[in-house]
């Protein structure tokens, strides 16, 4: 731990994201045991989408739903550390993630980023790349070019139409890095209909012949 991190920990002591008790691991032993009981660790496979597999850890309800909402919408960016610990303590999740070469967090539009102050998926992805050997972070390759209506406010058909054309690849990044033969993992917080990650995968499939997979904390 460097000097800056030590000073920040004195000002803002690390706490368990669930119960709020001070804990250096960002999740206390009792909460970790309780949450492990509700882990699903499911892998869904698809033949009709631009991605082949989707690994998700939890159903999007109860404590997990509350934590994700707090993280995304209530200015609690520090909760990314609790999510990272949940992932890193999960052997099946780490085994799945480690099969990929690159993690790409699902991007948010620059206006949304300015409002929120952070991309919730990028914070998690960045820390995972520090923890997991031989996997790289690429947060500049995929861009959200349309500031669309929140997907959560729409039904299934509305989500599919809403998300069309919302993403693009960054040609500057593509020109200097070869992604043709790299397995790409898209990381997001919640999977509902899959419209968002499928649109992202569609765009990415134009630059890679390899597998595109999905990882989310929760599935609705």
Boundaries of CATH 3.40.50 in the chain?
A: 42-219
pLDDT of residue 47: 95
What confidence tens digit (pLDDT) does each residue in 106-133 have?
999 999 999 999 999 999 999 999 999 9
What confidence tens digit (pLDDT) does each residue in 6-54 have?
544 555 689 999 999 999 999 999 999 999 999 999 999 999 999 999 9
Q: Which CATH class is domain 42-219?
A: alpha beta
End-to-end CA distance of the chain: 37
The number of C-alpha atoms within 13 Å of 13 and in the hemisphere containing its C-beta is 6
pLDDT of residue 1: 52
pTM: 0.91
């Amino acid at each position: 731990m460097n000097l800056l991190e030590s000073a920040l920990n004195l000002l803002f002591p690390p706490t368990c994201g669930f119960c709020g008790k001070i804990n250096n691991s960002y999740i206390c032993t009792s909460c970790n045991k309780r949450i492990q009981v509700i882990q699903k660790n499911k892998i869904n496979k698809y033949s009709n989408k631009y991605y082949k597999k989707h690994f998700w850890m939890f159903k999007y309800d109860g404590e997990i739903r509350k934590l994700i909402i707090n993280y995304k919408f209530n200015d609690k960016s520090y909760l990314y550390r609790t999510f990272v610990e949940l992932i890193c303590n999960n052997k099946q999740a780490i085994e799945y993630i480690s099969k990929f070469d690159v993690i790409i967090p699902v991007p948010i539009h620059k206006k949304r980023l300015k409002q929120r102050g952070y991309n919730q998926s990028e914070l998690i992805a960045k820390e995972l790349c520090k923890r997991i050997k031989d996997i790289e972070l690429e947060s500049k390759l995929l861009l959200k070019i349309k500031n669309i209506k929140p997907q959560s406010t729409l039904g299934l058909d509305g989500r599919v139409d809403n998300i069309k054309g919302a993403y693009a690849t960054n040609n500057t990044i593509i020109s200097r890095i070869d992604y043709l033969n790299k397995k790409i993992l898209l990381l997001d917080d919640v999977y509902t209909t899959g419209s968002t990650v499928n649109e992202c995968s569609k765009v990415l499939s134009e630059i890679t012949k390899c597998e595109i997979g999905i990882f989310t904390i929760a599935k609705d």
